Structure 1
Amino acid sequence: MVLNVGLGPAGSATAAVFRKAAAAAVRAVGPARTVRLDLALTENTDVPVADRVRAVAEGARLALYRYDTFRSAQALPPPVEVRVTGGSPDALAEALVTAEGICLARDLVNSPAGALTPTAFAHRIQTVAAEAGLSCVVYGGEDLARLRLAGLAAVSRGSTEPARYVELTHEPAEAPALTVALVGKGVTFDSGGLSLKPSGELHTMKADMGGAAAVLGALVALPRLGLPIRVHAHLPLAENMPDGGAIRVGDVVRHLNGTTTEITHTDNEGRVILADVLLRASRPGQTDLVLDVATLTSAAVHALGTRTGALFSPDDALADLVGRAAERAGESLWRLPLLEHERRHLRSTVADRVNCSHRHGDTVQAALYLSEFLTPGTLWAHLDIAAPAWNDEPPYGVVPHGATGFGVRTLLETLRALAASAPALA
């Protein structure tokens, strides 16, 4: 069978178009067991051959993704083999490394919360870190008090599953041009705590660790991509559950910098967890800039729909760099403003701030909240991926039903761009 996939008007194809076309081809083959994608057939395009190879290989591999961990053997369809011919072998290898990172993130997000507890997640991180050559340190129990990660400890109080905090480091083979801190929210199940979520929302709450999964998926790819950039990853892992020990509405959390947060809604736990971790990640002399990724607010879904993440940064150059990286990666981000007048809604009568104002504009207010927990002068960007981390619709493009792995490609493209422009940003 020969299948022709349209790329649009001559000369208009981008890498994202090639990625989607490859995915469409693989999905369309039906019962065929081998698919050959011949890049020699694709002409009349300004996309460099290496970029074309990466896009097609990523699209094909990602379209084949299935989460089969809990399926019986007889329920599994036979595997499909994809062969990409023509182009650059190095680009092909690089694409498969990226796709592996995305598939790892998808597997983690798709995992049932009972199977991927904070402890189990930490163990999985240790395993993949060792395989990838990353250094890894896992903290738990009394370590959280010693490190003064009060937000993480407070949110996890209602769960019988103990919280974990994981630090990972990628040290490049050559002298690093830049040091970047990546922070990923890792709430392995979010019931909403005592401010319980509606039952109709709970089926996707195993995906509330999508930020941590994206950071891990990007980091495990780095050693094989050879970028001259040092990366520290900070992954706070917890469950947000309601029991007699759970944090209450009205309780006050004292953070690493001595400031306090009044808990006015326990389902706005992500920003409380990230607060102390951002302070730790942005310590003077530790990093040149901080990127955090979090499934943070349902308001982002209302603002931007189900396929687009929100991008915040007070620095125009960094926001432009991340936005362009997302465009090259084929992931949809839209920059939203850090509206200073919205900060008034964070005021508390009993503490320095509240974690939820119960007013419109929560996505902006959450970003403003996070901005208060960075060492002054830190370059910072925040990605709210609450919408695109999970797809409840039928597959489209390279995106399957369920976990999408959103953010991995954007982070890797951002790190490539940062390595290239390090002198201007440092």
Structure 2
Amino acid sequence: MHDIKAIRENPAAFDAALTRRGDEAVSSSLLALDEERRAKIAAAEAAQAAQKTAAKEVGAAKAKGDEAEFERLRALVGEKKAEVAAMQNEAKELDAKLTDALARIANLPADDVPNGGGEEDNVEVSRWGTSREMDFDPVEHFEIKGVAAAMDFETAAKISGARFVMLKGAVARIHRALAQFMVDTHVDDNGLLEVNSPVLVRDEAMYGTDKLPKFGEDSYQTTNGWWLVPTSEVPLTYSVAGDILEEAALPIRMTAHTLCFRSEAGSAGKDTSGMLRQHQFEKVEMVSVVHPNESDNEQKRMLRCAEDLLERMNIPYRTVVLCTGDMGFGARRTYDIEAWIPGQNAYREISSVSTTGAFQARRMNARFRPADGGKPEYVHTLNGSGLAVGRCLIAVLENGQNADGSVTLPAVLASYLGGKTTLSAEGKLV
């Protein structure tokens, strides 16, 4: 959500930032609506003052016994009361209209975000690891001999339709081990608070985390009104909605492993093979609520938390900063981590780490009280994948695949797999 006062103070800068994102300049229409709203509020206040004055005069006329004046003034008070109510209602409608307009405008990019129109303009900032030399042609995850039978798309389609999968046996256990490894690392080494959060949330939570009103079609809503979360960013971030936190309580750092649900609206025909793009998937999410002065440093810290997981599993990756035209709606700056996927001979996104500044906090009225006793200020919120579990499974399987159809698994998973380090070509852990 944007601050209309800031737009009033510098409309040119606001429009320039939106233009960098490829969006239309809208300050003139917003300010016209704001001016109409404020004029209506001022008129209502003037009418209310006139009503109060007339009400006092009614009493004076009655005391003097001036019946005609008394009746005239009493009628005037009634008229003013109705006028005030009508004006207040109009002002309320204009306020709601302005709030809705502001809620549909994307966050402004940070000054250091590169300009660009799409993913081709993203800028690589670092690269780690070297892709393993294979003396055979690597295949995609669902084609690996030891994996194929345990990654059941046909049964999932019979049950739920396209873009679902049933993982079975050893592959299901590896998937579970990956999530446990991620959560344990975040809790034990990165100092995050583990949260078991709901995956059904109310409209307010989706709105507060910028998923509504503009992007409702990207998520699933139940018949009784709850929303299935696109990620646990929604419940974790919204947990501080309406709060005034003490500055000493910041930063708040949380992690959760949950099911996630996305309709994948607009992605027809994209990544239809395998489990790269699913309607239901699992993620280990990181969310931070911080002092505004610390949000840029916090984003770098969260990015390292995600990168470190891949390094521990020896999965090559690259990190890119998204350009203005490829960032998500609520992001001020986003880094994507892309894991090397041998079967596609490409890097594919496995984590996004974003700072939203005060964009979400203003929508959900999340503030903190400065230690020096100043008036409450909006916190800054950040979110990041740490990591997408299914995509991490893809990276582990494809990078560890062998010519005989077996998969050599990352050593860090052994303690979660009963000491086993290999998925055999027969689909067994050995």
Give me the TM-score of the superposition, normalised by structure 1: 0.26
Give me the TM-score of the superposition, normalised by structure 2: 0.26
User: Which of 1 and 2 has greater Rg?
Assistant: 2
| More contact order relative to length (CA 8 Å, sep ≥ 6) | 2
